[in-house]
């Protein structure tokens, strides 16, 4: 099931030309994954209390067009693949008013404990996040 959230773009998100700085899309992806997990009954804070953390092992981003100061992005997030210890999240970011595609991306998250060693995603959490 997809999760959708909006991000309003502020001056601090942009370069001197009013275009969103490319690395900020990584921050937006992180926010979207956090919200996805919470909306699926697996809030990050609760997982952390149970020694379940997710670290990003790989990210792919395709920049399709530029986003600008004052626009609002709609970020769609969903899981496309799950293994015993990984989740692959996909994201699209579109400009809200026009639907213009800004970014398409994929991020592979690896389940680890506080020792940062990979571990299996608990079955009950895997079922929630599918």
Q: What is the mean pLDDT of residues 18-30?
A: 97
Q: What is the mean pLDDT of residues 29-56?
A: 97
Which CATH number describes the domain made up of 3-129?
3.10.129.10
Q: Is 13 a catalytic residue?
A: no
**Is 1 a residue whose pLDDT tops 90?**
no
Residues whose CB is less than 8 angstroms from the CB of residue 47 and which lie 6 or more positions away in sequence, other chains included: 37, 53, 54, 125
**Is 130 a residue whose pLDDT tops 90?**
no
Question: Does the model's pTM come out above 0.85?
Answer: yes
Q: What is the mean pLDDT of residues 79-99?
A: 98
User: Are 69 and 10 contacting, i.e. CB atoms less than 8 angstroms apart?
Assistant: yes
**Residue of 15, 51, 62, 125 with catalytic role:** 15
- Which two structure tokens, joined as six digits, stand for 49? 């209390």
Q: What is the pLDDT of residue 97?
A: 98
Scan for tokens 């959230």, then name that residue: 5
- DSSP letter (8 states) at residue 72: E
Q: What is the mean pLDDT of residues 38-42?
A: 97
């Amino acid at each position: 099931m997809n999760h959708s959230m909006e991000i309003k773009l502020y001056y601090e998100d942009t370069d001197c030309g009013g275009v969103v700085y490319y690395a900020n899309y990584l921050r937006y992806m992180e926010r979207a994954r956090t919200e996805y997990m919470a909306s699926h009954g697996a809030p990050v804070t609760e997982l952390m209390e149970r020694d379940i953390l997710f670290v990003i092992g790989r990210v792919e981003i395709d920049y399709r067009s530029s986003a600008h100061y004052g626009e609002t992005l709609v970020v769609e997030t969903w899981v496309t693949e799950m293994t015993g210890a990984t989740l692959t999240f996909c994201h699209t970011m579109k400009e809200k008013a026009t639907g213009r595609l800004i970014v398409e991306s994929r991020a592979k998250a690896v389940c680890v404990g506080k020792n940062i060693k990979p571990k299996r995603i608990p079955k009950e959490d895997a079922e929630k996040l599918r």
